A and B are shown apart, each in its own frame.
Chain A
Amino acid sequence: EVQLVDSGGGLVQPGGSLRLSCAASGFTFNSYAMSWVRQAPGKGLEWVSAVSGSGAGTYYADSVKGRFTISRDNSKDTLYLQMNSLRPEDTAVYYCARPLIGVFRGAFEIWGQGTMVTVSS
């Protein structure tokens, strides 16, 4: 079964750091670009970051550029999102997502269950 399992969320103070993980199974992980998408409580979807299948290419939304770092370990079939300098507006459910077709262009067919990040003092 094709599956993504998100983890690592929690409560963190403003200015703090958190690392999210997404464990993939059931497909050839390194053949797909992967993304993180977030959703603030009661709000819409916001694309956060993407990484190419090899890990060589990384892409970021302006709202997180310079603070978040996406990476992947293809030997462990795992995607990561290192979040630094967290702000209250980063509070959201964070989903990892796999596209229908391998390259990065949206069309997210497979989603994790989401992990909640709360930034508050």
Chain B
Amino acid sequence: QSALTQPASVSGSPGQSITISCTGTSSDVGGYNYVSWSQQHPGKAPKLMIYDVSNRPSGVSNRFSGSKSGNTASLTISGLQAEDEADYYCSSYTRSNTLVFGGGTKVTVL
């Protein structure tokens, strides 16, 4: 159960777009459309931003979008805002009937 691979940090200026990658294997990300993305601000519980690769829960801004190609999923934040500064985690269901998270990406708004 190796963690999915995410960049440690990504930064951008207000109004810009950034993309966070999440790389797994054919046993997790590549094998299922069950990739999710969560946002976590310091000291808070995570918040679901994207599920099933590209679906947004009710109430989540349409500035957040998800996609997948092969074994790599991506989260794109467009029109970056100060409130988007947080840690972001991807996760995927696996062939072993388990769940695996990525190591997390710290997003900094410059």
Q: List chain A positions with a Cβ less than 8 A from chain B.
A: 35, 37, 44-47, 50, 59-63, 95, 100-101, 104-109, 111-114
The B interface is mostly helix, strand or loop, or mixed, namely: strand
Q: Is the Cβ of A59 less than 8 Å from the Cβ of B104?
A: no
Closest CB of chain A to B50's CB: distance in Å? 9
**Contact bitstring B77-102, A, C-beta under 8 A = 1, else 0:** 00000000001010111000111111
* Chain B contacts for A100, CB-based, 8 A: 48, 51, 57
Task: Point out the residues of chain B lying under 8 angstroms from A45, CB to CB.
Answer: 38, 40, 46, 89, 91, 101, 104
- 30 A-B pairs whose Cβ atoms sit less than 8 Å apart in the complex: A37-B101, A44-B3, A44-B87, A44-B89, A44-B101, A44-B103, A44-B104, A45-B46, A45-B89, A47-B98, A59-B97, A59-B98, A61-B1, A61-B98, A100-B51, A100-B57, A104-B93, A104-B97, A104-B99, A106-B34, A106-B35, A106-B36, A106-B91, A106-B92, A106-B93, A106-B99, A107-B52, A108-B38, A111-B46, A114-B45
